[in-house]
Structure 1
Amino acid sequence: MSELQKDFLFVLIKSLSTSEKRQFKLYVNRLGINVDAKFLLLFSELDKMKEYNEEIIIEKKISSKQQLSNLKAHLYKQILVSLRLNPSLQNSRIQLREQLDFATILYQKGLYKQALKILDKAKQSALDLDEKSIASEIIELEKVIESQFITRSIDGRADELILQSTEINKQNSYATQLSNLSLKLYSEMLTHGYIKNDEDRDKILDLFDKKVKKIDLNKLNFTEKLWYFKAHVWKNQLLQDYKYTLKYAYQWVELFHQNPEMIKNHPVWYIKGNTYLFKILFLYGNIKRIEESFEKFSRVVKSDTFIHNENSQSLIFLNYYNTKMNLYFIKGDFFGGTKMIPELELKMEKHRDKIDEHHFLILYLKIASMYFGSKQYQNTIKYGLKIINSKGNIQEDLLFHTRILILMAKFEAGFDDDYDAFVKSTIKFVKKMRNPGELHFKIVDFFKKIDDQNSTAQLSSFKEFEKQLQESEKNRYDKRTLVYIDIHGWVKSKVRNVDVIEIIKEKVKLK
């Protein structure tokens, strides 16, 4: 998709449902004076377009080039106001802020008792839903009113508000520390990937311990516990400590199951928690646990009480297809998995504007891997190149393993014409990585070595390389390199002269 097609206003309009478009037109025509308003003409024109084209807008004299930017900004704001009024998009947070706005208006009009009545009710709802940031704002406004005007509302009112304010600020402080830590760990994952040595490990542990050691889990409320578990999941992901990643991902999800009313209030974090749980269960190869947890998750997100909007639907889409693909991988059912790919690609196109590029590239890698398992090597290379040729800041680990998968496909298919050139470009890529490990060089050297060997020499190279991989599996920092793409399973299949599916089934049986 070109940059022009990514125009924010155009993408927003294309995201609107039929009912939302109807509501917008009713909203702007409510006073009968906007029928010919330029921003409404612009809306209608953009709604008709399949691709954003600024020249058409200028040609139809809807706006001059100089005025277009302001007109688009005005239309963007009007659409958001219309959506803000849409009952289907209302959630508890929006409703609480609305009550706070109403109370502020009443306060400004000097109707203090009415304002306090609304604030007291909204505050109780905010505390019940663990929305402490909004509760804090409500209390601050209550303090303003009580300190300026003699309301005589309740005896000991000042002490009550001071106590509430102090407690909420303490909880908010915990939440801020933990959310900052979680975000920092997530950033480390995206920018540097998993730890590769003791120095990386010490850095992450030092960062984590400084923030978490003084926090008592038993004193935390729902939101702080949620951030606490999230931070632990990210820390253990970075450390490649899958046992504890599983523990805290499970606690994250169970926190919601123990507080089901919070699923409606935080649907995104419920989906995300399950995403990490399914991901780590996949690494353990536990088919039964994945299927049981996935069935429970599916029941919840399909229920009438679950919040269904574009954001939650996009995240459910990612969770659903990643988990389905993982189940096909664990079972070694590559041919069954490839049957799902056309349906997956249609859904990917539908959700493209709502999901970041990294998650799409992960899906492309899974598609490429599925085609490799079903011996459709041309398609493996096709989807692998989609990742390599993608623009933007792509995670190094993802690029490296994509290159290795392409080399495996080229070797299997006998594509000799550009094999050597691709090996050379991969060696060049590894040398430019921020912190390549010894295993990265061993893998590319192996593919370089087997290029011109006869079948006997190749078998010998595969046997030698399998021993190296067995040693690497004992190294905690090589775990992720061997999990991302199952190169060890492929090498074993060559040494034993069996289909890679047989190796996968043996692994599952052992696990």
Structure 2
Amino acid sequence: MPISHGDQLFNLIRSLSKAEKRTFKLYTKRLNKDSDPKFIQLFDILDKQKNYQEELIYKRFHQLSKVQLSNLKRHLYTQILISLRLIHINKNIDIQIREQIDFARILYGKGLYLQSLKLLDRIKTTAETTHQDFLLIEIFEFQKLIESRHITRSRKIKNKMETLIDESELRAEVALNTARLTNLKLKIHGLYIQRGHIRDEKDRADLEKYFKHELKSIQTDQLTFFEKIYYYQTHVWYYYILLDFVRCYVNAARWVEQFELDQDMKTKDPDLYMRGLHYELTTLFNLQCYADFKDILETFEQFEAQHGQDFNTTSEVICFLYLYTAKLNDHFIRGTFGEGIKEVRTIMEKLEMYDPHLDQHQILVFYYKIAWLYFGNGDYSKSLDYLNRIIYLDVGHLREDIQIYSRLLSLIVHYELKNYQFLEYQIPAVLRFMSKLEDQNVLQKETLSLLNRLLYKPNEEVLIEIRKFYQKVDKLSHNVEDQKSFVYLDIITWLESKMQEKNLQDVIRQKFNSRQSQKIESLIASL
């Protein structure tokens, strides 16, 4: 196994739960009843370290060379994974099926061909009911290998061989179609990472042409469980890039519906189910369909309450990211920033807990949302604390949009704090920063221009300037290509709070009360 770096082994050991460490010790003691081999001693040394320190290993093993240590670490890494496999085999159906395939190969190697075929027949049913399409291909190919090399009783059964051949061909077609779907999904997702949402009609036309061309090679009739989900996933990303949130929601809902039709798959693949819920929630948030949003959020919370204790680390992280993003969005929709702030402590604790498993993008998003919570609640100093975490974080070109919005929101906060002298030199600095990045839009430039003008307006003209700017950005908010900007920087509501001389929370609550009746069904019907 190509693992020789100590930090990789160290991170694996650090990720183990108490139960997993206990299982590892029991597993190794069973293998080494009368000795305490070096790899177990190495495990104990690394388990006690807070940070990886290789020099402490050499102090313990004086005669160990670098090559020997590398081999020892590789062996320990393998033994830990074997012990983990013993635990996780009951939680992962694909591991269970692979084990049975391995057993079938062992039986075949022992010359027990009929027993091997019988075992393959049994696990084939399990693979079919759990939609393990690629493992089914392996099972069929192994069955064909046995049938072609040995005389078995199968040929005495009418149409047995014909059925095997037909099933094998069908699964090969499914595998090819699945590969094409996942390839397209990755391509569309890659386009979003590279370019973000469409910026103009040319972007729209180019994407539509590309997507239609790619779909031509994909079979869409009689799809399997995962084929359907990959098909809907691809369309979710496609419509998300197009900023067509209604159609995006429709495909996310169809994705989730597959799990409602096959309830067992919720626990077999909770990550995929939770991702579907996340995209439903994200689109409903963008569409401000609160009643529907709340229903899905409650479904998510119930699922976590019922099955969270069985989640592996990856599922825990996914659940945290998506569930708490939705909880914060819930407060943004209703304008209940004070209530939302109560979630911050838990979020920060979980960010620290899951830090090894998170990327900077995910952390940036949470910092920005928390900054908005404090801004909406009128706690400007706290808002600046979280905005500065983004501004002073060295992340290169990662999430340029959030980097720009963070700086713009920071300027607005300083304006609220009447730090006008600070703004005089900070506005040009933000302008220089924006000029270096590709991801800028009209709203960002106009907001920066407004703040610059407000600095030099007498008090009696400030409101006039705000009203003029409000009329301009209100028109922008009706352009599909500019709508996404207002999700990140709700400048319209801030302007309304100034014009109405109310705090931000009150304006949002007023808007919320007036649109509570908006339902996703009516938006779908209007397509």
Q: How does 1:295-314 map to 2 (within 5 A)?
A: 295-303=298-306, 307-314=310-317
For 1:480, the aligned partner's letter is K
Aligned to 2:113: 112
Aligned to 1:468: 472
TM-score, normalisation: structure 2: 0.90
Distance 1:42 1:329 in 2: 50
Aligned counterpart in structure 1 of residue 173 of structure 2, from 170, 180, 183: 170
Aligned to 1:434: 438
Note the alpha carbon deviations across 1:38-75, whole angstroms, 9 max, x for none. 22222112211222233333333375555444333322
Residues 101 and 139 of structure 2 are in contact (CA less than 8 Å); yes or no, is this contact kept in structure 1?
A: yes
Distance 1:246 1:261 in 2: 23
The yes-or-no answer on 1:420 pairing with 2:393 is no
Aligned counterpart in structure 1 of residue 511 of structure 2, from 499, 507, 510: 507
Aligned to 1:358: 361
Q: Structure 1 residue 211: deviation in Å?
A: 2.7
Q: How does 1:357-436 map to 2 (within 5 A)?
A: 357-392=360-395, 393-416=397-420, 418-436=422-440
Aligned to 2:520: none
The yes-or-no answer on 1:148 pairing with 2:149 is yes
Q: Structure 1 residue 462: deviation in Å?
A: 1.5
Aligned CA distance change for structure 1 residues 201 and 73 (closer, same or farther; 3 Å): farther
Distance 1:453 1:234 in 2: 44
Note the alpha carbon deviations across 1:346-405, whole angstroms, 9 max, x for none. 122112222333122211111111011111212212211222333445112221222222
Return 126-135 or 55-64, whichever deviates more: 55-64
Return 423-432 or 53-62, whichever deviates more: 53-62
Q: Structure 1 residue 306: deviation in Å?
A: 8.3
Equivalent pairs: percent with the same residue?
Answer: 34
SS at 1:498 equivalent? coil
The yes-or-no answer on 1:290 pairing with 2:293 is yes
Q: How does 1:103-502 map to 2 (within 5 A)?
A: 103-153=104-154, 154-213=157-216, 215=218, 217-303=220-306, 307-392=310-395, 393-416=397-420, 418-502=422-506
For 2:373, the aligned partner's letter is M
Residues 371 and 379 of structure 1 are in contact (CA less than 8 Å); yes or no, is this contact kept in structure 2?
A: yes
Aligned CA distance change for structure 1 residues 35 and 442 (closer, same or farther; 3 Å): farther
Q: Structure 1 residue 324: deviation in Å?
A: 1.3
For 1:473, the aligned partner's letter is S
Aligned CA distance change for structure 1 residues 13 and 305 (closer, same or farther; 3 Å): closer
Residues 181 and 218 of structure 2 are in contact (CA less than 8 Å); yes or no, is this contact kept in structure 1?
A: no
For 2:32, the aligned partner's letter is G
Aligned CA distance change for structure 1 residues 34 and 171 (closer, same or farther; 3 Å): farther
For 1:44, the aligned partner's letter is D
Distance 1:225 1:510 in 2: 38
Note the alpha carbon deviations across 1:446-470, whole angstroms, 9 max, x for none. 2222234332333232222111101
Residues 28 and 34 of structure 1 are in contact (CA less than 8 Å); yes or no, is this contact kept in structure 2?
A: no
SS at 2:438 equivalent? coil
Aligned to 1:42: 42
Residues 331 and 505 of structure 1 are in contact (CA less than 8 Å); yes or no, is this contact kept in structure 2?
A: yes
Q: How does 1:45-84 map to 2 (within 5 A)?
A: 45-61=45-61, 63-65=64-66, 67-84=68-85
Aligned CA distance change for structure 1 residues 313 and 89 (closer, same or farther; 3 Å): farther
Aligned CA distance change for structure 1 residues 386 and 133 (closer, same or farther; 3 Å): same
Return 172-181 or 296-305, whichever deviates more: 296-305
For 1:456, the aligned partner's letter is E
Distance 1:430 1:281 in 2: 30
Q: Structure 1 residue 113: deviation in Å?
A: 0.8
Q: Structure 1 residue 277: deviation in Å?
A: 0.8
Q: Structure 1 residue 143: deviation in Å?
A: 1.0
SS at 2:30 equivalent? coil
SS at 1:7 equivalent? helix
Residues 119 and 138 of structure 1 are in contact (CA less than 8 Å); yes or no, is this contact kept in structure 2?
A: yes
SS at 1:362 equivalent? helix
Distance 1:448 1:501 in 2: 25
Note the alpha carbon deviations across 1:194-218, whole angstroms, 9 max, x for none. 1112222223222321232565644
Aligned CA distance change for structure 1 residues 30 and 301 (closer, same or farther; 3 Å): same
Aligned CA distance change for structure 1 residues 180 and 216 (closer, same or farther; 3 Å): closer
Q: Structure 1 residue 120: deviation in Å?
A: 1.0
For 2:138, the aligned partner's letter is E
Residues 371 and 380 of structure 1 are in contact (CA less than 8 Å); yes or no, is this contact kept in structure 2?
A: yes
Residues 407 and 419 of structure 1 are in contact (CA less than 8 Å); yes or no, is this contact kept in structure 2?
A: yes
Residues 384 and 413 of structure 2 are in contact (CA less than 8 Å); yes or no, is this contact kept in structure 1?
A: yes
Return 194-203 or 64-73, whichever deviates more: 64-73
Residues 267 and 307 of structure 2 are in contact (CA less than 8 Å); yes or no, is this contact kept in structure 1?
A: no
Return 85-94 or 40-49, whichever deviates more: 85-94
Q: Structure 1 residue 178: deviation in Å?
A: 1.4
Residues 89 and 309 of structure 1 are in contact (CA less than 8 Å); yes or no, is this contact kept in structure 2?
A: no
Distance 2:359 2:290 in 1: 28
Residues 84 and 90 of structure 1 are in contact (CA less than 8 Å); yes or no, is this contact kept in structure 2?
A: no
Q: Structure 1 residue 423: deviation in Å?
A: 2.0
Aligned to 2:17: 17
For 1:220, the aligned partner's letter is L
Return 160-169 or 58-67, whichever deviates more: 58-67
Task: Return 5+ residue gaps in structure 1 as ranges.
Answer: none
Q: What is the alpha-carbon root mean square deviation over aligned residues? A: 2.3
SS at 1:303 equivalent? helix
SS at 2:419 equivalent? coil
Distance 2:106 2:303 in 1: 39
Residues 196 and 435 of structure 1 are in contact (CA less than 8 Å); yes or no, is this contact kept in structure 2?
A: no
Residues 196 and 477 of structure 1 are in contact (CA less than 8 Å); yes or no, is this contact kept in structure 2?
A: yes
Distance 1:162 1:408 in 2: 68
Aligned CA distance change for structure 1 residues 45 and 453 (closer, same or farther; 3 Å): farther
SS at 1:209 equivalent? helix
SS at 1:86 equivalent? helix
Return 500-509 or 301-310, whichever deviates more: 301-310
Distance 1:279 1:179 in 2: 22
Distance 2:419 2:140 in 1: 69
Residues 24 and 80 of structure 2 are in contact (CA less than 8 Å); yes or no, is this contact kept in structure 1?
A: yes
Aligned CA distance change for structure 1 residues 387 and 123 (closer, same or farther; 3 Å): same
For 1:349, the aligned partner's letter is E
Residues 196 and 241 of structure 2 are in contact (CA less than 8 Å); yes or no, is this contact kept in structure 1?
A: yes
Distance 2:337 2:67 in 1: 55
Distance 1:41 1:417 in 2: 62
Q: Structure 1 residue 304: deviation in Å?
A: 5.2
Distance 2:294 2:147 in 1: 55
Number of aligned residue pairs: give it: 507
Distance 1:445 1:234 in 2: 33
Q: Structure 1 residue 435: deviation in Å?
A: 4.9
Q: Structure 1 residue 99: deviation in Å?
A: 0.8
SS at 1:219 equivalent? coil
